[in-house]
A = this chain, B = another copy of it.
Amino acid sequence: MANDGVYGGSDNEERKKSANTRAVTLKEARRTGLTREALIALHETEGVGRISIATVFLRGLSKGKDALAGVHRYREQDWRDMGLSARQAGAVAESLLPESIELMLAKHAAKGLRVVTYLEDEYPELLRHISDPPWVLYYRGDWSLVHHPCIAIVGTRLATGYGRKMAEDVASGCSKRMTVVSGLARGIDAAAHGGALKGAHGTIAVLAGGVDYCYPPENKALYREIAEFGLILSESPPDTILRPGLFPLRNRIIAGLSYGVVVVEAARKSGALITADLALAYDRDVFVVPGQATSPRSLGALEYFRKGAHPAIDANDIFQMYSHRLPEPPAPVGGEDDTLANERSEPPLTPEERSIYEILLDQPCSIDELKVKSGLTFGHLNAVLLSLLIKRRIHQQPGSVYHVL
């Protein structure tokens, strides 16, 4: 249900209405007396989008306090009077029947999903303040994470080894004092979630489709870990069929939940940059992890420096921006100087080890490829690789293909 309607993306009626609506404040929404269940049912009704719901709130508001408290008794004509089309009105009248609502809630319960609406105190505070906040959020996992200071880490699905390593390291660092939000996509998103899962403040995956469905399928193990130790949330009702238009809408939630958005690697037209644009539109910070300006996979991100993005080499660059809003760093780790501490604990690399390591950062290589790229003899190369394996900086895959850890 509600595949078109939730967001009104392909709904002409939604588009026509959008010019005549405005944002509805929490106070206004509560004043109408609409119940949480009715709001969820509206949200899940096929063909009813975000804008239509805003129209209903605004009409209700104009009729006085608690005007929407009795909508479960509304007939089709009553809904037409609230500004819905004939098609919407019929569908909504049906969705709000007591038996429909019971069925809907039973379905959520059966799938182990929980629901938070815009009407409730538990709704994420920062998300309320975007221009187009979702009315309803479905989730699985630890809801308390949305009340932590959040930082989004996003980037291309086609990440390089360098990008993945930076996403993981920055996320791991950030998760000591902030919750890391991302989109469970391939590449940078997955690396960021992976890095943050280890941290005290964990990670939130915002999905484009329903919370009950893992996309992309290869991230299933990560999905399960996040459901257990973090939080998975979505604006899409369960059973929503995934379609491309949902991804940009999902991105607004990633940006909306977060103090800022860190872009790790992104080509010029990358979808991750939609999240960065939304962050700027919502007056949040954008950070860019530096990369090579000659790499098309970095260039899109780097250009955000021109829009005022801040460089982020590690988590400290992010913490510094929010130092007054963050809890104190955990004592034993020593906060501010993590980088130095980590570097001290990681055994240093010899120049040769480092040069091999840097080749592998680009992409995994076979030993033959490494021989060509490094110019070392097989014997010498083997010794260097062994040393890197012992230092736990690289990993050997079947077929003697090496990649960085």
Contacts and interface: CB of A to CB of B under 8 A. Distances in A.
A247 interface: yes
A270 interface: yes
Interface in A235-263: 241-245, 247-248
Given A158-B362, A358-B269, A362-B157, A302 B311 contact: yes
A319 B54 CA distance: 46
A322 to B, nearest CB: 15
Interface string A343-382: 1000001011011111001100000000000111000000
A293 B293 contact: no
Interface in A277-308: 288-296, 298-299, 302-303, 305-306
B302 A270 contact: no
B355 A245 contact: yes
Nearest to A186: B362
A165 interface: yes
A133 interface: no
A271 interface: yes
A94 interface: no
A352 B268 CA distance: 17
A305 B294 contact: no
A388 to B, nearest CB: 11
Contacts of A71: none
Contacts of A311: 288, 290, 302, 305, 311
A154 interface: no
Contacts of A37: none
A288 B271 CA distance: 27
A9 B354 CA distance: 14
A34 interface: no
Contact of A165 (B166, B270, B294, B356): B294
A40 to B, nearest CB: 25
A interface residue count range (under 10 / 10 to 19 / 20 to 34 / 35 or more): 35 or more
A308 to B, nearest CB: 11
A26 to B, nearest CB: 29
Contacts of A303: 313, 339
Contacts of A295: 358
Interface in A299-336: 299, 302-303, 305-306, 310-311, 313-314, 317, 320
A305 B296 contact: no
A384 to B, nearest CB: 9
Given A361-B158, A362-B157, A375 B241 contact: yes
A244 to B, nearest CB: 3
Contacts of A269: 349, 354, 357-358, 361
Given A302-B311, A339-B303, A358-B295, A242 B290 contact: no
Nearest to A274: B354
B247 A361 contact: no
A226 interface: no
Contacts of A292: 162, 290-292, 361
Nearest to A158: B362
Interface of A: 9, 157-158, 162, 165-166, 241-245, 247-248, 267-271, 288-296, 298-299, 302-303, 305-306, 310-311, 313-314, 317, 320, 339, 343, 349, 351-352, 354-358, 361-362, 374-376
28 contacts: A157-B358, A162-B294, A165-B294, A166-B293, A243-B376, A244-B351, A244-B352, A244-B354, A244-B355, A244-B375, A245-B351, A267-B361, A269-B349, A269-B357, A270-B358, A271-B354, A288-B311, A290-B302, A291-B291, A291-B292, A293-B313, A293-B314, A294-B361, A295-B358, A303-B313, A305-B313, A306-B313, A306-B320
